[in-house]
Amino acid sequence: MYILTPLDYARAVATALVVGVALGFAGAIVFRPTPAIGLLPLLFAFLSGTGAGTAIAEALNVTTGRKRGREMQFIAGGAVVLAAVARLGFAGAPWLMAVRDVSGLLMVVIAVSVASSRLR
């Protein structure tokens, strides 16, 4: 369950790339980067971060045959960061927006937390 073969690593990384870019594209359409702070963006960040973390963890679980462990948690965290960077890229936002987008940062933290806890 915790020992990954090279084939498992290849599957996990490929899945993380595909799911990360897909979630980044969807996030750019649905949840545009903005420096505004309000109750609704924070609530949406919480819900979408939970959903993104769950989606990434489940995609990795399915493709690797329910493998778990620290390596899978790192791969899932990388997929979340890739999704956040892809979201900024697809939205056409300046890279400095990554620091000013409080709800986006909250979404990344929650997604990493959820994905890593599901792969523990």
Residue 38 has a pLDDT of 86
78 touches 39 (CB < 8 A): no
Whole-angstrom distance, CA of residue 53 vs CA of residue 94: 25
pLDDT of residue 62: 96
pLDDT in tens, 82-115: 999 999 999 998 888 888 899 999 999 999 999 9
Ramachandran area for residue 92 (φ above 0: left; ψ -120 to 50: alpha; else beta): left
Place of tokens 């993104």: 52
* Cα(1)–Cα(29) distance, integer angstroms: 37
Q: So where are the chain's domains?
A: 6-118
The length of the chain, given as a count of residues: 120
**Angle, CA of 114, 115 and 119, to the nearest 5°:** 115
